[in-house]
Amino acid sequence: MTSGQWWIVALSGQLAPGKTLAVVCDGREVALFRDANGTAFALEDRCPHRRVLLSPGQVRPGGLQCPYHGWTFDGASGRCTDIPNLRRDEKIPPAMAQAYPVGELNGFIHVYAGGAAVQGTLPGVSYRPAGREYTGSAVVPIAFDDYLDVMLDGPECLVDFPGVTITDFFLGDPRRDGRHLLLDRGAVWQGRGPGPAFVRDHPLLVRARVPLSGGDIVMALLDAAERPLVTLFIAATAGRRGTTSLVWRGFAHAHAHMGPPGWRLRRLAGAPPFTVRTALDGRAIAALVAAPSRERRTGAASGIDEEKECLHAQR
């Protein structure tokens, strides 16, 4: 678990009014629910009374009702607002469920966890769709930090742009952009061959934007002039038992109609311009050489040290 930070935990469309959704936020089990007015809330997915799950409960006017004894908790404060079997002369005890701040932006539900004071911008602010969107969610059998590392060392193990081959040719060294590392790889249209002349004269490139802290990943397919063809925003967070929870949104840009016939036909047919792999090849991942990911690990560690120094200075 990290210090205070915003995490994307779900797509807005996954949470209907009056419904709940069990998610994981940086290893924490969280119950999302949306009230009749459309406002989303997040509580720890445990009732403070008997520690049963809250997510199977019902959304009531006073908040989320536990399915076991019917205690209801306010979504904003976590305060208990109702206990069905109390006598009229009895007061509601000061029981509190852990409540988390929630932010909703650009089709993503964000939860702030790990710190007392809310700070920082919502990761989804950088996602601006400019075409038909393709979305999804999954839990993949790989640890969170390993998922981020593999996105740098071997992104073809995790994502695919149908009709495109991602090569192992780095177009420069990883470079830091705020709290992210950027890394470009050469890519080629499938069937045209990765010969030196082709790569030099007609390159595609895949740009990975992988966080040093947090879980917002952007994978972009670009043409020779570095115009975007496809943008894929993946939100990852540490899940249960060494897994990683993912949600994603992505789209093809206007320039995506260019390319070989097979690629153009897929665009005309409305086929997704990318695939987020959910059945991972463990042997392929194990065979990857840890190269650019070492810089992510080093950068993340230095970022933690800088944060500790900042907090110490504030004291």
Q: Which CATH architecture has domain 128-304?
A: 2-Layer Sandwich (3.30)
Tell me the pLDDT band of 196, cut-offs 50, 70 and 90: low
Q: 47 near 55, Cβ under 8 Å?
A: no
What does the buried/exposed string (b/e) look like for 35-72 if buried means 16 or more CB atoms within 10 Å of the residue's CB?
Answer: beeeebbbbbbbbbbeeebbbebebbeebbbbeeeebb
Lowest mean pLDDT, pick from 9-18, 45-54, 134-143: 45-54
Q: How far is CA 274 from CA 144, 193, 263, in A?
A: 21, 20, 11
**pLDDT tens-place string over residues 26-36:** 999 999 999 99
Which tokens is 33 given?
């629910």
pLDDT > 90? residue 301: no
Nearest to 63 by CA among 99, 10, 102: 99
Q: 22 near 29, Cβ under 8 Å?
A: yes
**pLDDT tens-place string over residues 131-156:** 999 999 999 999 999 999 999 999 99
Q: Please give the Cα distance from 224 to 205 (Å, whole number).
A: 8
The model's pTM is: 0.90
| CATH number given to 5-113 | 2.102.10.10
Positions of E strands within 28-125: 28-34, 40-44, 58-60, 63-65, 72-73, 80-82, 99-100, 102-105, 108-113
Q: 136 near 276, Cβ under 8 Å?
A: yes
Note the pLDDT of residue 193: 58
- Output the average pLDDT for the chain: 90
Q: Please give the Cα distance from 238 to 8 (Å, whole number).
A: 11
Domain ranges of the chain: 5-113, 128-304
**pLDDT tens-place string over residues 220-249:** 999 989 999 999 999 999 999 999 999 999
